């Protein structure tokens, strides 16, 4: 639609007041106008015209200059006292100078000599209508801006570029910042310290001067109460009264940023957990293979030592080999603990009683210059785990605390009950809701940086000098806690000490009283044992050890050989000793197959790790007997007798 069509359409919406005392002229022009505007109101003198104007407020007024009772110029003066904007067109028989000057002084828009042709009149009407249209559009635009400005939920402000002085603010700014109009109008952003970082304002000004606008710039703003909020700001540079003004809109994205930061934190926790899980799988596999090799070394070394006198020069060399193998076995045990593949037998414990029984040992570890403070909680809930794992946790944490303290200091051990709800768990990926027992160990040592904290549970990471640590102690603590479905938090700052908080699930069972260990266990026997092991070196050394203790030993290198021996051997077979992880058929499957042939057959499993075959996450199934590789001659003999002397068999 072209401009002419737009204007014709706009004219159709207007009302015109035509005041003329000459009836013929009035009727003629009224007919002409009626076809082009919405409504034509008429009057035959200025008094009536003024009454109609006041009653109807027409859009345009056309009035004759000379009329009875009140002339057109006097009527226009009356109107202009109330209304400076409504267009007025004066018609006259002649263009008298006095009339024209008076019309100009009054503020008449057009002065037309009578007998004007309709086209010329329409042009004048179009000019007046155009002015009305422009003014209406301006008012509408201003009203829309005013409504948008005031009702926007976002903060909208106008500031001078030169000094940041506030010229106007909306209600959104007040709701967001806490400042009222009285607080800020006439003041600058520097006066109220709005910008947390003034470089953000400089950055915005630079972009405005370069591009004329800013889109979605993140910045941190200080509120009236001193709190900080994240804002997403957009701005434009305007000219108002020849002055550079910034019109800016800011949206509060604090909750979004906090959620984003929490999401990034959760993502980092997830990535760390996945990394630890991957390293754990690798560690478990390495430990399994290495334990098999250590088993052969330890077994053959012990056998060799039994064949020579204690004063034989080679005896001392073998003793050193045995010590090194046992130290290596300890490393693999730590790796298995980290990988959550060490095999355990949990029982319900009172953590306070268990720790109290360890205090003497812990004091020996930590030395004389460091004080141990023990703070047990009252009415502590029980937990279910292997007591030896509490020993592992505390021994490693105490050693780390001791090494972190230079000179005198204090280590505090404390327990407490803890409850975690869904809200807490939503922002801590490793935690699940429930009741937990807390074990905390804190020290007054050197503390750690955030970078160190992020790595302390990784295997072989250590801050100690070469030869002073393997980097497996805290990795083992991490694995033990995870194996028991718990979690661990670390709080530390350089120079401020360190606190480890361990949370273990509450158990609803009854605490198992500690049993006294037998002073000595028998080793020798005369029973028949079926030994199944796919590693020939371990098979040979275990056979020699068992035969040394008086047993008849049948050996099988494969599960098929074991099945044939079980079927064909004419005498009794009292015990099956089998590796857990074997090709073709695992140890549990072999046990079930052979018990179909000899139902009373007891079973002792042995392995570098259980691979969830006879244990789930390292926790032995009910009634299962297990011997962790590498084991000594004595450990093998004692475990065999324990199983043989037990009246029931595994189901």
Token code pair at residue 644: 């043989």
527, 642 Cβ separation under 8 angstroms: no
Instruction: Assign residue 195 a region (left: φ > 0; alpha: ψ between -120 and 50; beta: otherwise).
Output: beta
Token code pair at residue 193: 């310290």
- What was the pLDDT predicted at 3? 62
> What does the pLDDT look like over 228-246, one tens digit per residue?
998 888 888 888 777 888 8
pLDDT at residue 528 above 90? Answer: yes
Residue 566 exposed, middle or buried by CB count within 10 Å (0-12, 13-18, 19+): buried
> What does the pLDDT look like over 555-582, one tens digit per residue?
999 999 999 999 999 999 999 999 888 8
- What was the pLDDT predicted at 372? 87
pLDDT at residue 408 above 80? Answer: yes
Q: What is the mean pLDDT of residues 502-527?
A: 73
Task: List all residues 6 or more positions away from 166 whose beta carbon is below 8 Å from its beta carbon.
Answer: 157, 158, 159, 184, 185, 186, 187, 188, 189
| Residue limits of CATH 3.40.50.2300 in the chain | 3-148, 528-644
- What was the pLDDT predicted at 553? 93
Task: List all residues 6 or more positions away from 587 whose beta carbon is below 8 Å from its beta carbon.
Answer: 532, 578, 579, 580, 581, 603, 605, 607, 613, 614
* Predicted confidence band of residue 330 (pLDDT cuts 50, 70, 90): low
**Over the chain, what is the mean pLDDT?**
82
Q: Which long-range contacts (CB under 8 A, 24 or more apart) does 498-501 make?
A: 498/401, 498/404, 498/442, 498/443, 498/445, 498/447, 498/448, 499/440, 499/441, 499/442, 499/443, 500/397, 500/440, 500/441, 500/442, 501/438, 501/439, 501/440
Task: List all residues 6 or more positions away from 165 whose beta carbon is below 8 Å from its beta carbon.
Answer: 159, 186, 187, 188
pLDDT at residue 640 above 80? Answer: yes
| Residue limits of CATH 3.30.450.20 in the chain | 152-252
Check residues 648 and 54 and name the one with the higher pLDDT.
Answer: 54
pLDDT at residue 448 above 60? Answer: yes
Q: Which long-range contacts (CB under 8 A, 24 or more apart) does 209-213 make?
A: 209/237, 212/236, 212/237, 213/237
> What does the pLDDT look like over 70-110, one tens digit per residue?
998 999 999 988 888 889 988 887 778 888 888 888 888 88
| Beta-bridge partners for 437 | 417, 504
Share of the chain above pLDDT 90, in %: 17
| Residue limits of CATH 3.30.565.10 in the chain | 347-505
Q: What is the CATH number of domain 347-505?
A: 3.30.565.10
* Predicted confidence band of residue 343 (pLDDT cuts 50, 70, 90): low
Check residues 207 and 295 and name the one with the higher pLDDT.
Answer: 207
Alpha-helix residue ranges (DSSP H) falling in 188-251:
198-211
554 half-sphere exposure, CB direction, 13 A CA radius? 22
Token code pair at residue 180: 């009222």
> What does the pLDDT look like over 24-46, one tens digit per residue?
888 888 888 888 889 999 999 99
> What does the pLDDT look like over 124-149, one tens digit per residue?
888 888 888 877 777 777 677 666 66
Task: List all residues 6 or more positions away from 276 whose beta carbon is below 8 Å from its beta carbon.
Answer: 457, 458, 478
- What was the pLDDT predicted at 302? 82
Check residues 603 and 628 and name the one with the higher pLDDT.
Answer: 603
* Predicted confidence band of residue 649 (pLDDT cuts 50, 70, 90): very low
Whole-structure pTM value? 0.46
Distance CA 170, CA 423 (A): 35
- What was the pLDDT predicted at 388? 77
Q: How far is CA 15 from CA 46, 120, 316, in A?
A: 18, 19, 122
> What does the pLDDT look like over 474-483, one tens digit per residue?
877 887 888 7
Token code pair at residue 321: 């080999």
Q: What is the mean pLDDT of residues 466-471?
A: 54
pLDDT at residue 441 above 70? Answer: yes
Q: Are strands 155-160 and 166-169 parallel, antiparallel or unpaired?
A: antiparallel
> What does the pLDDT look like over 451-467, one tens digit per residue?
888 778 776 667 665 54
Token code pair at residue 207: 């972009």
Token code pair at residue 310: 């204690």
Q: Which long-range contacts (CB under 8 A, 24 or more apart) does 50-58 make?
A: 50/75, 50/78, 50/79, 52/17, 53/17, 53/79, 56/15, 56/17, 57/86, 58/15, 58/16, 58/17, 58/86
Distance CA 140, CA 264 (A): 47
* Predicted confidence band of residue 289 (pLDDT cuts 50, 70, 90): confident
Please identify, in words, the CATH class of the domain defined by 3-148: alpha beta
- What was the pLDDT predicted at 550? 93
Domain topology for 528-644: Rossmann fold (3.40.50)
- What was the pLDDT predicted at 414? 92
313, 320 Cβ separation under 8 angstroms: no
Q: How far is CA 208 from CA 138, 187, 231, 248, 391, in A?
A: 26, 21, 18, 11, 65
Q: Establish whether the linkage from the previous residue to 630 is cis, with ω within 30° of 0.
A: yes
Q: How far is CA 356 from CA 95, 372, 506, 522, in A?
A: 118, 12, 19, 32
Task: List all residues 6 or more positions away from 405 whose beta carbon is below 8 Å from its beta carbon.
Answer: 370, 411, 443, 444, 445, 446
* Predicted confidence band of residue 450 (pLDDT cuts 50, 70, 90): confident
Q: For residue 185, give the DSSP letter.
A: B
Q: What is the CATH number of domain 152-252?
A: 3.30.450.20
Residue 75 exposed, middle or buried by CB count within 10 Å (0-12, 13-18, 19+): buried
Strands (E), 474-556: 487-492, 498-505, 528-532, 552-556
* Predicted confidence band of residue 66 (pLDDT cuts 50, 70, 90): confident
Share of the chain above pLDDT 70, in %: 83
């Amino acid at each position: 639609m072209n401009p002419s069509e737009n204007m014709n359409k706009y004219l159709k919406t207007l009302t015109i007041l035509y005041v003329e005392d000459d009836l013929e002229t009035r009727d003629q022009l009224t007919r002409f106008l009626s076809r082009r505007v919405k409504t034509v109101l008429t009057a035959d003198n200025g008094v009536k015209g003024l009454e109609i104007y006041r009653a109807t407020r027409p859009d345009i007024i056309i009035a004759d200059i000379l009329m009875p009772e009140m002339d057109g110029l006097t009527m226009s003066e009356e109107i202009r006292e109330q209304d400076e904007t409504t267009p007025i067109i004066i018609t006259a028989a002649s263009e008298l100078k006095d009339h024209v000057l008076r019309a100009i002084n009054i503020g008449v828009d057009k002065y037309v000599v009578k007998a004007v042709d309709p086209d010329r009149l329409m042009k004048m009407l179009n000019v007046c209508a155009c002015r009305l249209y422009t003014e209406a559009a301006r008012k509408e635009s201003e009203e829309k801006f005013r409504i948008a400005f005031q009702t926007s939920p976002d903060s909208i402000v106008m500031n001078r570029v030169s000094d940041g002085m506030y010229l106007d603010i909306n209600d959104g700014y007040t709701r967001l910042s806490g400042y009222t109009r009285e607080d800020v109008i006439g003041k600058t952003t520097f006066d109220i310290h709005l910008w947390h970082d003034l470089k953000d304002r400089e950055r915005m000004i630079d972009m405005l001067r370069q591009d004329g606008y800013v889109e979605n710039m993140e910045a941190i703003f200080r509120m009236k109460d001193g709190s900080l909020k994240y804002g997403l700001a957009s701005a434009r540079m305007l000219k108002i009264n020849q002055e550079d003004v910034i019109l800016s809109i800011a949206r509060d994205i604090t909750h979004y940023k906090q959620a984003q930061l929490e999401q990034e934190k959760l993502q980092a926790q997830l990535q760390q957990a996945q990394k630890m899980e991957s390293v754990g799988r690798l560690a478990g596999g390495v430990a399994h293979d290495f334990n098999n090799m250590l088993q052969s070394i330890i077994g053959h070394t012990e056998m060799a030592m039994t064949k020579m006198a204690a004063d034989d020069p080679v005896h001392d060399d073998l003793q050193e080999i045995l010590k090194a193998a046992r130290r290596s076995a300890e490393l693999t045990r730590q790796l298995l603990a980290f990988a959550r593949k060490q095999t355990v037998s949990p029982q319900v414990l009172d953590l306070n009683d268990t720790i109290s029984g360890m205090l003497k040992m812990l004091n020996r570890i930590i030395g004389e210059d460091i004080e141990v403070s023990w703070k047990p909680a009252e009415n502590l809930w029980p937990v279910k785990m292997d007591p030896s794992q509490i020993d592992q946790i505390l021994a490693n944490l105490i050693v780390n605390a001791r090494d972190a303290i230079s000179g005198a200091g204090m280590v505090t051990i404390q327990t407490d009950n803890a409850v975690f709800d869904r809200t807490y768990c939503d922002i801590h990926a490793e935690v699940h809701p429930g009741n937990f027992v807390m074990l905390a160990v804190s020290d007054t040592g050197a503390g750690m940086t955030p970078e160190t904290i992020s790595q302390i549970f990784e295997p072989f990471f250590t801050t100690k000098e070469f030869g002073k640590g393997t980097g497996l102690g805290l990795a083992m603590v991490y694995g033990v806690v995870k194996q028991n479905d718990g979690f661990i938090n670390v709080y530390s700052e350089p120079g401020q000490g360190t606190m480890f908080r361990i949370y273990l699930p509450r158990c609803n069972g009854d605490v198992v009283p500690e049993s006294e260990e037998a002073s000595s266990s028998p080793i020798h026997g005369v029973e028949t044992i079926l030994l199944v092991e796919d590693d020939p070196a371990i098979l040979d050394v275990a056979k020699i050890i068992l035969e040394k203790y008086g047993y008849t030993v049948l050996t099988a290198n494969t599960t098929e050989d074991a099945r044939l021996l079980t079927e064909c051997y004419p005498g009794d077979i009292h015990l099956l000793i089998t590796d857990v992880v074997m090709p073709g058929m695992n140890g549990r499957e072999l046990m079930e197959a052979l018990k179909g042939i000899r139902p009373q057959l007891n079973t002792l499993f042995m392995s570098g790790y259980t691979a969830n075959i006879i244990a789930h996450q390292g926790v032995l199934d009910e009634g299962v007997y297990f011997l962790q590789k590498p084991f000594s001659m004595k450990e093998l003999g004692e475990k065999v007798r324990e199983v043989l002397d037990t009246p029931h068999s595994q189901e």
